[in-house]
Structure 1
Amino acid sequence: MGSIGVAAPPNPDRPPPPPRPPALWRSRDFSVFWLVQTLSVAGDSFSYVAIPLLVLHATGSVAHMGLLTALGGAASVVTGIFAGVLVDRVNRRALLVGCDVARAVVYALIPIAWLFAPQVWLIYPVVAIGGVLGMVFKVSYVTAVPRLVAPERITEANGLLSATYAAAGVGGPMLAGVVSGLFGATAAIGIDAATFAASAVGLCFVRLRPCPPAAPAAAGGRETPGTSWRDFLAGAQFLWRHPALRSLTLLLSLLIFMILGLTDVFIYYLKHDLGRTDGTVGTVLAVAAVGTVVAALLVAPARRTLGFGTCWIGANALGGLAVVGVGVSTDVVAVALLVATFTFAVAVGGICSMSLRQEITPDHLLGRVTSAFWTIHSALGPLGAALLTAAVARVGSPTVLVVAGVSCLTIALSGLLTPIRQRRPEHVPLSPAEAAAGAG
């Protein structure tokens, strides 16, 4: 008799395939984390619209809007020097909760102060402190995701989080515009403060897996705590020694310089050049959030199919073209669709970038690498925001938008000359020097 139809006996020398990680929705901790952060982002969308409108109504100046954006960006950059070591040294859940409690208190100061009299000066310290707390929270958040899901689920988790965040942001800007028109921008900021408080309560019920033991340092012992500056340099050194992360950091520094102030320019263009209402501004930004939803849903399968390089370079090139389109369009519907295309592109590039860092970086170093990455690539952003909005005041929004869009397209395409173009940079073996940087 032949062996047709008879199953081959198992090979005792071959280990069984690893079990497939459970679906994300089966994790209670990830589900709670997902829910409360979605609520918080929905509240953030109120301040995202309300603070620029509050400044524009009070000063009538796009340059003041840019300076406020630059202040928040500069606060984030400075905080990045110590945020990573803070995240890697203390309880990450406690840090997340503390940041949310502090932001709830800080943002609540604006509506409370406005009950008595407008205090425009207060907006500036609130934005600066919010930038500090926001940077610490973001670094903590990035390091929390790998402690909530299996490594194979990281890109999927980031995409799912981004999708629901953006979905929450679809109605948020629209409602923020309505609330600002009916009750004033300060009421919308008060709603944001309340969602920070709700997020803090929810995070108290989230459990993170214990951090795995750190790898031995290059010198043969375990790493010892150093100064914030030395720890920041440890993260920066890891970025520099990894070819793909090095190129990504450099190109994103140039991109952030061009795009950090674009939201202010979009709002000013709609209000000043096209003469639209606060409600229309909120509606356009709500439509733009749909782009992030679509990106978050597509990014994981797109990266699996097309690879990292095609996704990152293609998305940022598309974003540059969309900004050019906004600059030459006077139709509000077209502007909304083009801004949505821009947010789609930014989201695809951002999720791919964050997932790549999480996949490559050892857990014990992830806070410092994330902090160094955001600090370095955001360093030029505040200057760019100030210069971009100052240029709008001198030569007008359309010209600035076209120049910014062409610049973004050029920066994205230059990625073809770097290791970013690789399909799977996370699978490229590290050199001995790179491995030593990860261990130290």
Structure 2
Amino acid sequence: MNRTTWVYLGSYSLSLLGNGIASVLFPLLVLARTGDVLAAGVLASVTAAVAAIAGVLAGIVIDRVNRRTVSIISDVLSAASIAALPVVDALWGLDLTWFIALGVIGAFGDMPGMTARETMLPRLVRLQGGGPGALERLVGLRESLSAALMLIGPGVGGLLVWLMGVGAGTLLVTAGTSLAAALLSFAMTSRIGAIDADGDAPARGGVRGVLVDLVAGWRFLLGSRLVLGATVLTAVFVAAIAALQATILPAYFTAERLPELSGFAATGIALGSLFGAGIYAAASGRMRRRTWFVNGMIGTALGFAAIGTMAAPWAVLAASVFIGLANSPLSAVLGVATIEATPDPLRGRVLGAQNALMLAAPALTSAPFAALAAGAGLTAAGLGIAALVVLSAVVSLSVPAFRTLDTISPDAAQED
């Protein structure tokens, strides 16, 4: 890997680290200043909704402006939204309105930055002169870093709270990680964020141009069976995991009088993902993508089925690790397929729409499965989630779109 690749990965890691710390710090700060659990829930809902909208709209900007520039501005916005908290607290005092306002600013930084970095991957591979399998290795490495930082980020956040409390010092350290990510991005060549110019370039001018651009992105997403299939499949996994983590597993471990283990299920998925992505990065190019896909689908379905039975706490934790191990290479394959199948001038809009759908997906499953658990029991809800994943696996293994994973081209995707 060349210098630009290392800088890219460093900036990506710092940005994710800041998000991980903030995920621990922000709810604690809201509770400390408002004393209201409902306020924390309102803030989470509002910022998630804004992030989904920002993801869709940011795709247009990402397809018009140098993508490195977008990632830098996004990290600066994220840093500013966190750094402003102690200033506002000292001058006027923080309340729910201020939390929502600054949370919205942060949401407009996080989602566009994540999408912009994702769109830069193919050009990064070209700049480093990558051969066959280079994109797979880079995506696998990114997945490994993401899984590792899912473990490290919240832990660092908890450590900072323990050492310095929920105060200005902790907030400034958190803001500093996003600012460092922005500064590090300046060390990357601007060529990494350049956009290939062709007939799919976004339209210019006013509201009508924005609407035309949005329609073009969604038309491609809905018209490409491969990209649409990858989007739906990933959304199902995200929604299923969210339903488990938000309600089913905490209730299960509480019923087993082991509430302290509920957090270890999420840790198990992250730990399995770390190893799974590492294996994929090391072995990519030696095995067909279709083989990775089939193994990942079968393994993920088996893992959810094992959790769904709620046989024993140790079995649930082991199945969590197995889900991460199987699903991480699968997610990497779907990510590479989406990137390769989407023309570069459309990539920001398509990936932005995908990321927005990933944010919205949990809202469709968490409440229904919680209601099923309340009415029919935890095992019924667990088996219901397992049935959703198994059905998705059976369908995905039989549809033609996922049989072309090893022979992808943007032109072919547009003809689906």
Considering the TM-score relative to the shorter chain, is it more than 0.5?
yes
Q: 2:182 aligns with which of 200, 205, 214?
A: 200
Aligned length: 402
Report SS of the residue matched to 2:191.
Answer: coil
Aligned counterparts of 2:365 and 2:79: Cα–Cα separation in 1: 29
Amino acid of the residue matched to residue 68 of structure 2? R
Amino acid of the residue matched to residue 18 of structure 2? G
Report the equivalent of 2:224: 242
Change (3 A) 1:423 1:90: closer
Mapping of residues 17-416 of structure 1, within 5 Å: 24=1, 27-51=2-26, 70-109=45-84, 119=95, 123-150=99-126, 152=131, 153-180=134-161, 191-209=173-191, 211=194, 213-216=196-199, 224-225=203-204, 227-265=209-247, 268-269=250-251, 272-273=254-255, 285-300=266-281, 304-326=285-307, 328=310, 331=313, 334-376=315-357, 378-388=359-369, 399-416=380-397
Q: Deviation per CA, 1:156-197, whole angstroms, max 9, x where unpaired?
A: 111112213323443333344455566656776664333112
TM-score by length of 1: 0.75
Structure 1: runs of 5 or more not aligned: 1-23
Q: 1:421 aligns with which of 381, 402, 414?
A: 402
* Bigger radius of gyration among the two: 1
Aligned counterparts of 1:282 and 1:114: Cα–Cα separation in 2: 31
TM-score by length of 2: 0.78
Report the CA distance between 1:334 and its aligned residue: 4.9
Amino acid of the residue matched to residue 216 of structure 2? A
Aligned counterparts of 2:372 and 2:112: Cα–Cα separation in 1: 31
Report the CA distance between 1:103 and its aligned residue: 0.8
Verify the 8 A CA contact 2:78 2:107 in the aligned structure 1. Answer: no
Structure 2: runs of 5 or more not aligned: none
Q: Deviation per CA, 1:239-270, whole angstroms, max 9, x where unpaired?
A: 33333223223333444443345443378448
Report SS of the residue matched to 2:112.
Answer: helix
Report the CA distance between 1:415 and its aligned residue: 0.3
Change (3 A) 1:309 1:239: farther
Verify the 8 A CA contact 1:146 1:154 in the aligned structure 2. Answer: yes
Report the CA distance between 1:141 and its aligned residue: 0.7
Report the CA distance between 1:118 and its aligned residue: 7.5
Report the equivalent of 1:10: none
Amino acid of the residue matched to residue 347 of structure 1? S
Change (3 A) 1:74 1:39: same
Aligned counterparts of 1:53 and 1:329: Cα–Cα separation in 2: 34
Aligned counterparts of 1:185 and 1:263: Cα–Cα separation in 2: 25
Task: Give the root-mean-square deviation of aligned CA atoms.
Answer: 4.0
Report the CA distance between 1:420 and its aligned residue: 4.0
Identity %: 23
